Amino acid sequence: MTDKARNVVLRTEQLKTFYILDAFGCEKVVKAVNGVDLEILGNEVYSIAGESGCGKTTLLKALYAAVEPPLRVMEGKVFYARKGDELDVYALSKEQKRRLRWDHISYVPQGSMSVLNPVARLRNSYRDFLESHSDGKTRKDFLRIARRHLDELGLPSKVLNAYPHQLSGGMRQRVTIALAALLGPRIMIADEPTTALDVVVQRGVIQLLKGIQETLQNTIIMVTHDMGVHANVADRIGIMYAGKMIEEAIADRIFGQPLHPYTQYLINSLPRFGDKTMRQSAPGSPPSLADLPDGCPFHPRCPQVMQRCREEMPRMKTMPGKHRVACWLVEGGVNERIA
C-alpha cells in the first residue's frame, strides 16, 4: 500500500512536543504530546478523544505548526501532502507557513471569540482574510464572495453587518467555522467546536461542519470530549491518553469493539437512554503529564495490568480492520477474543 493510494494528507512521525515551564527556578517538563504517529487521510473526519489534560489540544497546535514557547517540538516531524509533494512543516520558513494557513490548512480554536476581531464588523474580518490570501479583487468582490459563501452554508448573510458580541454563541461558532472554510482548505482543524454550546445549537454546528466536509471533500481533524459527538460525525477516532495515542479505528469499531481497557471503560461508562443499569468508571485519576508513570501510562488504573505494562510502553499494533491499538494485552493475544 503506497501513501498515494491511501491518500494521506497529513502525517506525523514520533511527534513529541513538551511544555518547558520555569517558575522561579523550578523547572517542569510537561510531556503533552509524547511520541504520536498519525496518518490522516483525505476526505475523512478524524476525531480525537481524550480527557482534559491528555494533550489533545497541544497535538492540534503541533499539527497546525502553531508551536510557541513554552511549548517546544522536541522530536519528530509533521508532513502535509500538497500537490503531490510532502512538506516537512517544521522545515518551512515563516512566510511559507503563513501562506499555507487558511488556504491549505485552517484552524478553529476553542472559544471562537479569539478569531474574530471584537471591535470590527464581521464583514471587515472576512475582507482582511480574503485580502491577505488573494490578489487583485475589489472591496465589492470581497463582499460578494463572503455573502455567497454564507448563503451556501445556510447562514444569514446579514451577520456580516454585526459585531461578534451581538451574535449568540452558536452563531459566532458557526461564523468562525464558515470563515475557516472560506478559502476551501484541504484540512480543517477544530478544537472542541461544540463545547459550551447547548445541545440543539451543538447539533446545528455539527450539521454545518459535516456539510462543509461533504461539499469540499476535505479532511476535518476534530477534538472533543463528548463521545456522542464523536459517534455522530467521526469516520475514524483516535483515543489519546496521557500524551500518547493508544487506540485508533473507524467509529463503529471504537464504539462496538474497543480493545484498549481505557477505551472500554470510556465506552461502557456512557449513559444510554432506556438503560439504567449501573455504569462503572475507570478507577483512579489520569496521571499528571509532568510526572508520568513508567511503562504504559494507564497501568496504575488498569484492571488487567501485567508486570510488562509497568516496565515498557507497548507499540501501536495494527489489528485486522485497520484497528490500531497500543496495549500488551493485544500484543500478547489476551484481548484477541474480544477482537
Partner 1 sequence: MRVLRDLFKDYRFALSFLVLWFLLIMAVLSAFSPYDPLIWFHGPPNLKPSVTYFLGTSAKGQDIFWQATYAVRNSLIISVIAGAVSRVFAVLVGMIAGYRGRGTDRVLMFFTDTLLVMPLFLIIVMLALLVRERMTLVNLGLLLAFFGWAWDARVIRSQILSLREREFTKTAVLSGTGTLKLVLKEYLPFATPLIFSTLINNMAWAIGMEMTLAILGLTDINIPTLGTMLHWAISKQALFLGQWNWLLTPVVLSVLLFIALYWLSVSISEYLDPRTRVQRVGGK
Partner 2 sequence: MSALLEIRNLKKEFAFGSILSRLRITAVDDVSFDINTSEIFALAGESGCGKTTTARMILGFEEITAGSIDHKRSVAPTDTRRDKVWLSHGVQAIFQNPFETFNPLRPVERYFFETVRNYKLADSDGKARTMVDETLRAVGLSFEEVSGRYPSEFSGGQLQRVSIARSLLTSPRLLIADEPVSMVDASLRMSIVNLFKQLRDEMHVSVLYITHDLATAYYVSDRIGIMFRGNLIELGVVEDVLMQPKHPYTQLLRESIPEADPNRRWTERVSLSDIEHEEYMRKGCRFAGRCPKAMEICRTDLPEDLRIGSVMVKCHLYAGECND
Residues that bind partner 1 (CB under 8 A): 21, 23-26, 28, 290
Which residues inside 276-305 make contact with partner 2, applying CB under 8 A?
A: 276, 278-282, 285-286
Name the minimum Å distance from CB 291 to partner 1.
Answer: 10
- Cα(266)–Cα(280) distance, integer angstroms: 10
- 167's contact among partner 1, partner 2, none, with CB below 5 to 8 A by partner kind, is partner 2
- C-alpha span between 192 and 86 (Å, rounded): 28
- Distance of alpha carbon 287 from its chain centroid, rounded? 21
Residue 232, interface with partner 2 (CB under 8 A)? yes
255 binds, among partner 1, partner 2, none (CB under 5 to 8 A by kind): partner 2
322 binds partner 2 (CB under 8 A): no
**Among 39, 103, 226, 331, contact with partner 2 (rule: CB under 8 A):** 226
The answer to whether 263 and 330 have CB atoms below 8 angstroms apart is: no
Asked whether 10 and 63 are in contact (CB, 8 A), the reply is yes
The Cα 128–Cα 300 span in angstroms is 51
Nearest-CA neighbor of 188 among 210, 211, 219? 219
- 24 near partner 2 (CB under 8 A): no
Beta carbon of residue 252, minimum distance to partner 2 (angstroms, whole number): 5
Residue closer to partner 1 by CB (options 238, 286) is: 286
Q: Report in angstroms how near the CB of residue 241 gets to partner 2 at its nearest.
A: 9
Q: Which three cell numbers stand for residue 160?
A: 456580516
206 binds partner 2 (CB under 8 A): yes
CB of 225 to partner 2, least distance (A): 6
Pick between residue 104 and residue 301 the one whose CB is nearest to partner 2: 301
Count of chain residues binding partner 2 (CB under 8 A) = 47
Is 7 a binding residue for partner 2 by CB under 8 A? The answer is no
One character per residue 163-192, x = contact with partner 2 (rule: CB under 8 A): ----xx-xx---------------------
Lookup result for grid cell 487558511: 102
Q: Which is nearer to partner 2, 25 or 271 (CB)?
A: 271
Dihedrals φ, ψ of 40, to 5°? Answer: -110, 135
Residue with cell 491549505: 104
Q: For partner 1, which is the closer residue by CB, 2 or 52?
A: 52
Choose, by CB under 8 A, the member of 84, 271, 303, 320 that binds partner 2.
271
Q: How far is the CB of 27 from partner 1 (least distance, A)?
A: 9
Q: Does 267 sit near partner 2 (CB under 8 A)?
A: yes
283 near 301, Cβ under 8 Å?
Answer: yes
DSSP annotation string for 30-49: EEEEEEEEEEEESS-EEEEE
- Number of C-beta neighbours around residue 182 at 10 A: 20
Which amino acid is present at 161? N
- Cβ at position 21, least distance to partner 1 in Å: 7
Helix ranges (H only) for 160-314 are 169-181, 199-216, 227-233, 251-256, 261-268, 307-311
Record the cell numbers describing residue 248, joined without a space: 485508533
Contact between 262 and partner 2 by CB under 8 A: the answer reads yes
Q: Does 258 bind partner 2 (CB under 8 A)?
A: no
Largest CA distance in the chain: 68
Please tell me what DSSP assigns to residue 1. Answer: -
* Closer residue to partner 2 in complex, CB, 124/232: 232
Burial class (CB in 10 A: 0-12, 13-18, 19+), 39: middle
Residues of this chain that interact with partner 2 (CB under 8 A) are 51-52, 156, 167-168, 170-171, 198-204, 206-207, 225-234, 251-252, 255, 262, 265-267, 269-274, 276, 278-282, 285-286
